[in-house]
Chains A and B, each alone.
Chain A
Amino acid sequence: MKKLCTVLVVLALAAGAAAAQTAVRYWYHLDDPNATIDNLIQKFQNENPTVTLQAERIPWGSYNQKLMTAVAANDAPDVFEVKLWWQPQLVEMGALAPIDSYLASWPLKSDVFPNVWQLTRYTDGTQYLMPYQMVILYLYYRTDLFKAAGLKPPATRDEFLDDARKLTHDGVYGFGMRGAAGGHDFWAAFVLSSGAQIFDKNGKSGLTSKAAIDANQWYIDLYRKWKVCPPTAPADGFKETIANMKSGKTAMTIHHFGSSAEMEAALGDKISAVPVPRGLMGSWTSFGDGELAIWSGSKVKDAAWKYLAFLGTAENNALWQKASGQVSINVSNGQTKEASSNRFMKATVDSASFAQILPAVPAVNDFVGTVWPATMQRALNGEISSEQMMKAFEDLFSRK
């Protein structure tokens, strides 16, 4: 009888504890199918025993679609991963809960790079997003091929073309261009640095000026005129550009720290990285981001914030970066010895001063997802001119 009583008491306690548990639904993704964040989730559970984190890993290909439909169906997760360029649409949908009040009392705010706060703040001055990772696009190059040709890694657009032409021979191509979705980052590094602007200082289109059309023509010519890119470039996506670099098919390409480990594993010290070449008007490279947001409809916002704050601290953030292969947003993580001796990290840090994002307008989502790839591919295949291509972008960005 005594034994039974004990069991009942334990059960009652357990039930009580369970009732006090707050469940937080969380959506995330990792590119590498072998990577996991189980250790991170476990650590969070240990530190926050009253919160149950229901983490769900969503394939990246359908992530945006799933998130948008979940928000529209009023059934979004409490915490979810966001890309900066989705922010205008999500704000328009009223999907994001402001986190300013939480941040005001968060002691570790100053350990996050100040320009990251600046880039992620919405145009209305509200902070909806909690940054947790960043990457900056840089130029990969094959040290051995450059050495054999007696070349130095390019610092300017002209040097880049010159090098690419000299490196293109015997089945090797100078530049692994990405013509499929995601390649807008490559395009922007050369075109938005040489006279084209999506919006100029006055908010007007800067895409169809002569300088802009010429800059775009220069980029198309890499493929059509100078033929320094593999013939498959219009259809090449992330997998293909990385695979071509690893297999020695290309001598240069653009990507970020996230692929440096696999590049090094394949090519050893034959690969290194430098900031993307300077254009006619300066440098432009893409700031690749990752943020967490709390759903405005969440009933457990306080518990959700606990996870945002957890991932924002240097130690936990470093654990995340181990799984994702990206760069920590914490100032203190950037100062570790490990970070400062890495050549790919150096190229990332050297690019930080000019890393930028596309303007925060809803059209960016269509631009990145469908309009840029389709229009770029048509221009690469000679179906439309540089001017028609830039006009198509102007039309998209001027649409209300």
Chain B
Amino acid sequence: MRISRARTDILPYVLLSPAVVATLLVVFVPIVQAASYSLMSFILWKPRARGFVFLANYRAMLSDPVFWISLKNSLVWIVGVVILQLLLGLGTALLLNREFAWRGLARALILIPWVTPSVLTALMWRWMYDGNAGVINDLLVRVGILKEYFPFLANGKTALGAIMVALMWQGFPFFAIMILAGLQAIPLELYEAAEVDGAGPGRKFFRVTLPLLVPVLFTAILLRIIWVANSLDIIFIMTEGGPGYSTYTLPLYSYLKAYRGMDFGYGSTLAVTITILLAAVVAFYVARTLKSGDQL
């Protein structure tokens, strides 16, 4: 029996359609909805005032000091956390790539922060930082670095940094595992050839390891930028954005506006802005990296 030409042409679309329909329903529809809310006055408890205001929410956003604070915090948050995770992950991967006893166990244990639920991670770190009974304060006082307990999460100067450390801890295994996989894919002959040419460990790292890791690093960094930019659960549980606005990031501000203030219009405006900014960053990053990838 022969399958007609027309049927084979349609078949891929038929097979794909459930996935496409599902994606449209759960991703595309909410995006369009959020975009339309962002152009509306949509405060849940003011049903009579609901209606299109076009760009008024965006104008209000540009003159909203909390938006600018949140944007600045978001930048510090994304750049800081991704770099910290990358460096720690790279170091861990290089160590785990060496031969040592119980290496298999170490590779498994390194995943623990990554598989711990965010809520648990946040609560754990909150108690560790606690200004009255936290273990971090206890240790720092015992070794003499601090004279008295310091309220890390209650001080506007340290709160964001403290949460970034917690997120670094949670996310570095992802980098470690990705980079480890990349390291194992590098053929040993390259190192041998480099050694024959007289390269030391530093040269081998910068001339062989790092260039060959670029594709892996590229993917990992891209994914992490998106995840870290959108993560608000840990901040929400550790400080709820406080003290003051010192740990407000854009996604958190959007969440608080929508669900605490019941202002879905302005909350959506902030969410759409995050999406646009993030899409721009990702597009720029992809374009740059593809270009440099061609040159390799």
Contacts and interface: CB of A to CB of B under 8 A. Distances in A.
A and B are interacting partners:
yes
Interface of A: 65, 68-69, 72, 89-90, 92-94, 179-181, 230-236, 240, 243-244, 247, 249, 362, 365-366, 369-370, 373-375, 377-378, 380-381, 383
Nearest to B157: A381
B178 interface: no
Contacts of A243: 132
A89 B45 contact: yes
A377 B261 contact: no
Contacts of A180: 240, 242
12 contacts: A68-B44, A93-B44, A93-B45, A93-B47, A230-B151, A231-B131, A234-B154, A234-B155, A234-B244, A374-B241, A377-B244, A378-B243
B233 to A, nearest CB: 14
Size range of the interface on B? 20 to 34
B48 to A, nearest CB: 8
B175 interface: no
A243 B134 CA distance: 14
B44 A236 contact: no
Interface of B: 44-48, 130-132, 149-151, 153-157, 239-246, 256, 259-262
Nearest to A235: B154
A99 to B, nearest CB: 21
Given A377-B243, A378-B156, A235 B46 contact: no
Interface centre among B45, B149, B156, B259 (most CB of A within 10 A): B45
B156 A381 contact: yes
Chief secondary structure at chain B's binding surface: loop
Given A235-B239, A373-B242, A362 B154 contact: no
Contacts of B45: 68, 89-90, 92-93, 362, 365
A235 B242 CA distance: 7
Given A68-B45, A92-B45, A94-B47, A232 B244 contact: no
B156 A369 contact: no
B260 A235 contact: no
A231 B261 CA distance: 29
A181 B240 contact: yes
Contacts of A366: 260-261
Contacts of B151: 230-232, 234-235
Contacts of B240: 180-181, 373
A362 B262 CA distance: 12
Given A92-B46, A369-B260, A235 B243 contact: yes
A232 B44 contact: no
A234 B243 contact: yes
Contact of B242 (A90, A93, A365, A374): A374
A179 B239 CA distance: 12
Nearest to A86: B45
A370 B260 contact: yes
A72 B131 CA distance: 41
Contacts of B46: 92-93
B149 to A, nearest CB: 7
B156 A230 contact: no
A267 B265 CA distance: 49
Interface centre among A232, A236, A375 (most CB of B within 10 A): A232
A393 to B, nearest CB: 14
B91 to A, nearest CB: 32
Interface centre among A93, A233, A234, A375 (most CB of B within 10 A): A234
Shortest 5 CB-CB contacts between residues of A and residues of B: A378-B244, A232-B131, A377-B243, A235-B154, A89-B45
Contacts of B154: 179, 231-236
Contacts of B260: 65, 366, 369-370
A178 B249 CA distance: 24
Contact of A369 (B239, B244, B261): B261
Contacts of A231: 131, 149-151, 154
A232 B132 contact: yes
Contacts of B242: 180, 234-235, 373-374, 377
